Amino acid sequence: MQKDKDIIDELQETGGKKYNEKIKQTIENYKNLRDKDKNCLHIYYGYGKGKTTAVMGLAMRAIGAGKKVAIVQFDKGYDGQNEHYSERHILRKLKEIGYPIEIYPTGCERMNKDGTFRFKNQEEDFAEAKRGLKIAKDLLESGKYDVIILDEAVAAVAYHLLKKEDVEELVDIFLKNKNCEFIMTGHKIWDTLEEKADLITEMRKVKHYFDAGIPAREGIEF
């Protein structure tokens, strides 16, 4: 990684000419790739804020470009009445007016009435995680979508709702077909997953206002 940075710094120091030549060559090489080789696996992970925020922004951008998008959210259930995730209001509206977006919330209610959170897993939580896994497999194998986002799929491993092998099976399905852009989020990744990814961005907590007494807020955190 440091070597790549040194190369970029050197190119920029020459006045930008070599840097632009490198960009042009990259674009030309990209044009010559097979369509399936243009699709990439993204992972946004870490204990800092911003993973879901990032992929929802990516989803908006893809929809705006006319791409068909499917989002599966793990451990973020919806009972049809109590909606805890504000982004889903706008995603449903976009679908209603004809934009190519499908969203599949999976998981059970974890928010207690007093605003605290239920952490202990119950049988229903495991069943919902398996349901999300099945939906994800079907989406990846369908070939119907340009972008597939599995929000908190990697986190579901950290919370013991899924196994590493479950997530890697999804990755292998993607690598076999490579018919979409594939994106996942979570807290902690592992070596074999890292090796297969094309892009990894870590959201690292440097400072968080929760430590100063500011809780999760509607429209900001959810």
The predicted structure's pLDDT at residue 217: 86
**Residue 3, SS3?**
helix
Structure tokens at 79: 């009972």
What is the Cα–Cα distance from 44 to 201, expressed in whole angstroms?
5
What is the Cα–Cα distance from 43 to 181, expressed in whole angstroms?
11
The predicted structure's pLDDT at residue 6: 66
Confidence of residue 28 (pLDDT cuts 50, 70, 90): confident
Task: For the chain, give the mean pLDDT.
Answer: 90
What is the Cα–Cα distance from 87 to 165, expressed in whole angstroms?
30
Which of the two residues, 221 and 12, has the higher pLDDT score? 221
* Biggest distance spanned by C-alpha atoms of the chain: 61
Q: Which CATH class is domain 36-212?
A: alpha beta
Residues of the chain with CATH 3.40.50.300: 36-212
Length of the chain (residues): 222
**Residue 53, SS3?**
helix
**Residue 104, SS3?**
strand
Q: Exposed, middle or buried, 149 (CB in 10 Å: 0-12/13-18/19+)?
A: buried
Structure tokens at 172: 């292998």
- Look at residues 185, 155, 154 and name the one whose alpha carbon lies nearest to residue 50: 185
Alpha helices in 34-179 (DSSP H): 51-64, 87-96, 123-142, 153-158, 164-177
Give the pLDDT confidence of 106-160 residue by residue, as tens digits: 999 887 777 788 889 999 999 999 999 999 999 999 999 999 999 999 999 999 9
| Overall average pLDDT of the 204-218 stretch | 90
> Is the per-residue pLDDT at 9 higher than 70?
no
> Is the per-residue pLDDT at 44 higher than 70?
yes
| Overall average pLDDT of the 194-200 stretch | 97
Q: What is the DSSP letter of 47?
A: S
Q: How many CB atoms lie within 10 A of CB 71?
A: 24
> Is the per-residue pLDDT at 211 higher than 80?
yes
pTM: 0.87
| Overall average pLDDT of the 190-216 stretch | 94
The predicted structure's pLDDT at residue 2: 64
CB 36 within 8 A of CB 122: no
| Overall average pLDDT of the 204-221 stretch | 89
